[in-house]
């Protein structure tokens, strides 16, 4: 089967993980991104479309959007409607987005011809976004009998909302985030796909200090201030040092993670993310908040469940016992293999979408 993944960016490496798993299962699968992510994740077909550079998009948002809308935190989204639906924030934003669509439309037509993008059997929109804000290419292919899958990864649904045109034609709507279950009734939840093949179990440190890592992409969204404060307080009572990993290329971030004894992902209502999975893949115990929807489902897991009040208390047993760190780290990797294996996730998607 020929499958094309389309995403604005290769966010956290998730879209390319889908593609690799599909290739391993014998499918012809490609990833098309509108621009580079900026963190060094692997690309496939990257169009490098004008005005899609992350730094330019960020600047335009500062111009067009009210400041409160740009702020991120650890809480649940409070949308005005369910599911949240995207629309331009104001007239200026709408004007600029229309200009970008007009600029990129002829370029996209050329890329469709160059890469034969209309020849695929199924299109998975990782982020629920097409080529354009007002996309009609994928709608036409859907009319021709092609399957369309919308898969939401995080802030795409939480902060932006569904793209109306793509949501209307979606044959299967998926999410990798637990909190999305409240935002989109009937959406199908799956675990994040993860390729463990490139990860080795890190050597358990025999150093004088226990290294506790934290790798935020956005401090406000991860509860980093409280995490940093907690580790600093622990360092006053125990031989502990904080390893803060941020603003690093992905490969360098992984190298630094492998030097840690404990990893802390994030606080808040949204649960663990890719960062926690990377710790687990290395056999390093990971601590994170757990989404209430996951807790309500009664799912057993090896992640150390923390909140703002109990970080120090939950980490103390791991700080004091190398054996416990090793045991929990091994359990974490095994759980990751059982639940987040990318090929298993892909098979579930194809079965749900009726893809043979």
What are the angstrom distances between the C-alpha of 168 and each of 150, 154, 163, 164, 254? Answer: 10, 20, 9, 6, 39
Q: Do residues 264 and 243 touch, judged by C-beta distance below 8 A?
A: no
Contacts 24+ apart (CB under 8 A), 341-344: 341/193, 341/194, 341/196, 342/17, 342/18, 342/20, 342/21, 342/193, 342/194, 342/195, 343/21, 343/24, 343/25
Longest CA–CA span in the chain (Å) reads 66
One pLDDT digit (tens) per residue for the chain, 356 residues: 999 999 999 999 999 999 999 999 999 999 999 999 878 899 999 999 999 999 999 888 888 877 766 666 666 777 888 999 999 989 999 999 999 999 999 999 999 999 999 999 999 999 999 999 999 999 999 999 999 999 999 999 999 999 999 999 999 999 999 999 999 999 999 999 999 998 999 887 777 899 999 999 889 989 999 999 999 999 999 999 999 999 999 999 999 999 999 999 999 999 999 999 999 999 999 999 999 999 999 999 999 999 999 999 999 999 999 999 999 999 999 999 999 999 999 999 999 999 97
| pTM score above 0.85 | yes
Ranges of H-type helices in 196-248? 219-222, 224-235
Give which of 10, 9, 16 is closest to 194, Cα–Cα.
Answer: 16
Rg (CA), the chain: 21
Bridge partners of 147, per DSSP, are 122
Q: Treating both helix axes as pointing N-terminal to C-terminal, what angle do 311-320 and 224-235 enclose, rounded to 10 degrees? A: 50
User: Which part of the chain has CATH 3.40.50.2000?
Assistant: 197-339
Residue with tokens 């111009």: 63
CATH number of 2-193+341-353: 3.40.50
Torsions phi, psi of 344, nearest 5? -60, -40
CATH topology assigned to domain 197-339: Rossmann fold (3.40.50)
Q: What percent of the chain has pLDDT over 70?
A: 97
Angle subtended at Cα 219 by Cα 218 and Cα 224, rounded to the nearest 5 degrees: 145
Closest CA relative to residue 277, chosen from 340, 346, 217: 340
Residue 132 makes CB contacts below 8 A (sequence gap 6+) with 101, 104, 105, 108
Q: How far apart are CA 262 and CA 287, in angstroms?
A: 8
Is the Cα dihedral 88, 92, 94, 99 positive or negative?
A: negative
DSSP string, 221-234: HHTHHHHHHHHHHH
């Amino acid at each position: 089967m020929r499958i094309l993944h389309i995403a604005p960016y290769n966010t956290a490496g998730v879209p390319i993980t889908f593609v690799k798993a599909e290739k391993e299962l014998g499918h012809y699968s490609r990833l098309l991104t509108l621009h580079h992510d900026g963190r060094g994740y692997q690309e496939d077909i990257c169009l490098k479309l004008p005005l899609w550079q992350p730094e330019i998009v960020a600047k335009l948002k500062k111009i067009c959007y009210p400041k409160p809308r740009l702020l991120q935190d650890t809480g649940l989204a409070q949308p005005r409607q369910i599911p949240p639906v995207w629309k331009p924030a104001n007239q200026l934003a709408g004007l600029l987005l229309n200009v970008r669509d007009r600029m990129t439309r002829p370029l996209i037509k050329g890329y469709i011809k160059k890469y034969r993008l209309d020849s695929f059997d199924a299109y998975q929109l990782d982020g629920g976004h097409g080529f354009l804000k007002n996309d009609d290419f994928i709608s036409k292919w859907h009319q021709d009998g092609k399957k369309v899958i919308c898969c939401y990864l995080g802030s795409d649904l939480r902060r932006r909302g569904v793209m109306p045109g793509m949501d209307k034609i979606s044959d299967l709507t998926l999410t990798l985030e637990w909190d999305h279950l409240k935002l989109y009734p009937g959406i199908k939840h799956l675990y994040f796909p993860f390729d463990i093949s490139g990860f080795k179990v890190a050597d358990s440190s025999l150093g004088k200090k226990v290294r506790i890592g934290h790798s935020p992409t956005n401090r406000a969204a991860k509860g980093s201030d409280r995490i940093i404060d907690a580790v600093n307080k622990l360092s006053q009572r125990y031989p502990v040092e904080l390893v803060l990993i941020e603003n690093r290329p992905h490969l360098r971030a992984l190298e630094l993670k492998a030097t840690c004894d404990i990893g802390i992902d994030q606080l808040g209502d949204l649960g663990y993310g890719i960062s926690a999975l990377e710790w687990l893949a290395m056999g390093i115990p990971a601590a994170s908040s757990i989404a209430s929807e996951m807790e309500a489902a009664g799912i057993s897991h090896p992640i150390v469940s923390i909140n703002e009040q109990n970080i120090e208390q939950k980490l103390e047993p791991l700080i004091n016992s190398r054996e416990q760190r090793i045991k929990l780290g091994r359990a974490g990797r095994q759980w990751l293999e059982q639940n987040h294996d990318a090929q298993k996730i892909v098979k579930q998607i194809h079965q749900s979408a009726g893809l043979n």
